[in-house]
Amino acid sequence: MSDPIEQGARAAAQRLTTPAYANLAHEVEVALHNRGTDRRPGQYTDPVALAGLIVSIATLAWTVFNDIRSRNSAAPAPTPDTVARRVRLELDQTDATAPPIPPADRDRIIATTVEETLRAAPEPDSDPV
């Protein structure tokens, strides 16, 4: 079974690739490979750091999604907007030392990554990842 975090990060990288970040998909692959290690980007303005941010957001989105879903399994699955709000709050608390990126860019990166991660989520009736 595929991993929604990996699928979401890869799909977000494809959507967020620009001429300035032409190697973003490759850098996300590197960040996925390094996931779980102590390596953490110091800024989010270069492709390597941006890739790390995307993987971090995908991981956090999946955690938030599962947390909300497990608290009330009878309720419908949380929406991407709900998950993105929680992800923004978590990032605000944990990334206080990271240099800021423009708010519009940050919101676009978060929204895109959350959307793609949730799109990759298995249906509730299927086997868990």
Instruction: Report pLDDT digits (tens) over 5-18.
Output: 999 999 999 999 98
Q: Give the pLDDT of residue 15.
A: 94
| 68/76 Cα distance (integer angstroms) | 10
Distances (CA, A) of 80 to 84, 87, 102, 107, 125: 6, 10, 21, 13, 19
Where does residue 35 fall: left (phi above 0), alpha (psi -120 to 50 degrees), or beta otherwise? beta
Helical residues (DSSP H) of 76-120, grouped into ranges: 80-94, 103-119
pTM: predicted TM-score of the whole model, two decimal places: 0.77
- Each residue's pLDDT tens digit in the chain (129 positions)? 578 999 999 999 999 998 888 888 999 998 898 886 655 544 444 566 788 889 999 999 999 999 988 888 788 888 999 999 999 999 888 765 455 677 888 899 999 999 999 999 877 654 444
Nearest to 36 by CA among 52, 48, 17, 14: 52
- Which pair of structure tokens corresponds to residue 21? 């970040």
